[in-house]
A and B are shown apart, each in its own frame.
Chain A
């Protein structure tokens, strides 16, 4: 009798622990680079951590960023720290709580045999297809440090057609995504230059939250970060099928083969689980690295030395705890 009562009570308590509704907006259409998050929704990880998560896609011309300070979304994925620097500079009350990618896969690709084998040649390309988000972040860095010119800019609307048609043009992309599509559509292996290899040392696919949320509901933030980390571990090393199916529904132009190829690249290029993440778990961040990246951006002329109070850019309280390492071991991954 008592056992039943306790069981019912626990059940009731479990049900009463209402799932916290959370909206998480991404910065592109669904692709493998979002895999971990989709995994956590698809395999119930978020639910296990008491979260009812809705994923909201971004896109080439979509700007989800104002939605976070406006309170319309709870967490936001951004592609690099420049966005966070801008926010702090403009006194927008948001903060970075985790960095899922240790390496920014932002890259430029070109047709082979057109003289773009060396990175230095890219700046002379007559046409560069860049989407809005990139135009106002890493492209500014390319202009300042590597001599790229605005005259070459043409909008990238998620359609590789124009780049495929113009052999002298270059194209933005994620090193783990666009080259795969290029090979499928164009039947050639493009030349790929990773910005991270030339000094763009930012974290990527970072999770931003409102400072207010971090202050008043740190438990919610911790649960979201932890569940997301576990989602990534499961995605990279476990059964990806539920996540892939969900992403294909969100973005019907994607194919499963492309997703799998992308995951392989993410692993081989050490995008997610390398360096600090290998040591302290996915999502790891360090103040030193953030400071170093900011210093480089100041040198590039994107900011003035006092513009950004670095202490407000990110908080380390939710990461570097080795979350997900046990799951990784259980899955037998190295």
Chain B
């Protein structure tokens, strides 16, 4: 199926589901404060666009900020681990502990210890997002073809040349796999942390708006904010898929096979 056809198909299915939702709510007379119809959600979104857009922007900033830091941290630590197996053996358990501790439990503590709420949110989202990047990149940096390694040694490559021309490109597919996972996790971490924190100074993200709407029984607004969150998740997914295709498409098996 051509790409255009599959886009149309997805759109059709999505619209169909929305239509069923709209019709179902009207036919069953479900009140707006229980389950609002999609048309009402869109209306509410438009009516409160100013403040919701500002919150959306804040959530995006935290999500992508934490993701950037997770990339930096994950890649850096992975490089250190790849260069020093001793350090890796020593510190890897710490990373694992960070990974398995549920963020919902840790977030309240972080909010107490860290002064700035925005910094606390970034930290929470970072903790959730950095591990997949770290573990995947570590594997990738080690997954260098043995013959290529010999080749570089034969031509007396410097350590920097080895890192930039051999290990980094070898690690790229693994890193991208980790990045795709971490993209979604970063959003979840940002939302979870904010649910626990509540308002964050002047700016608040979508999770706070959802909480606020829930406490004030403004269910259509809850759904409007939720729609934006879902849109963000989809955006992240699509963005990193496209990035992976662009970087790996010409040469890596994970992207070159076209499945239909």
Instruction: List the one stretch of B52-60, B135-143, B211-219, B223-231 in contact with chain A.
Output: B211-219
Report which of B117, B211, B215 forms a contact with A65, defined as CB distance below 8 A.
Answer: B215
What residues of chain A lie closer than 8 Å to B117, measured between beta carbons?
Answer: 153-154
Report which of B199, B204, B217 forms a contact with A90, defined as CB distance below 8 A.
Answer: B217
Per the bound structure, the CA–CA distance linking A153 and B208 in Å amounts to 13
What residues of chain A lie closer than 8 Å to B215, measured between beta carbons?
Answer: 63, 65, 132-133, 135-137
The answer on a CB contact under 8 Å between B33 and A155 is: no
Knowing A69-B34, A70-B34, the reply to whether A153 touches B198 (Cβ < 8 A) is yes
Contacting residues of chain A (137-172) with chain B, CB-CB under 8 angstroms: 137, 150-151, 153-155, 157, 162
The answer on a CB contact under 8 Å between A135 and B198 is: yes
The answer on a CB contact under 8 Å between B217 and A151 is: no
What residues of chain A lie closer than 8 Å to B202, measured between beta carbons?
Answer: 150-151
The answer on a CB contact under 8 Å between B108 and A157 is: yes
Contacting residues of chain A (207-264) with chain B, CB-CB under 8 angstroms: none
The answer on a CB contact under 8 Å between B201 and A155 is: no
Chain B contact residue count (CB 8 A cutoff): 23
Chain A contact residue count (CB 8 A cutoff): 23
Per the bound structure, the CA–CA distance linking A197 and B116 in Å amounts to 32
What residues of chain A lie closer than 8 Å to B176, measured between beta carbons?
Answer: none
What residues of chain A lie closer than 8 Å to B32, measured between beta carbons?
Answer: 90-91
What residues of chain A lie closer than 8 Å to B112, measured between beta carbons?
Answer: 154, 162
The answer on a CB contact under 8 Å between A136 and B216 is: yes
Report which of A90, A151, A157 forms a contact with B218, defined as CB distance below 8 A.
Answer: A90
What residues of chain B lie closer than 8 Å to A153, measured between beta carbons?
Answer: 117, 198-199, 201
* Closest B residue by C-beta to A156: B198
| Smallest CB-CB A-B distances: 4 pairs | A136-B215, A151-B201, A86-B216, A92-B33
Q: 9 A-B residue contacts at CB 8 Å?
A: A69-B34, A86-B217, A90-B32, A90-B216, A90-B218, A132-B198, A136-B212, A150-B204, A155-B196
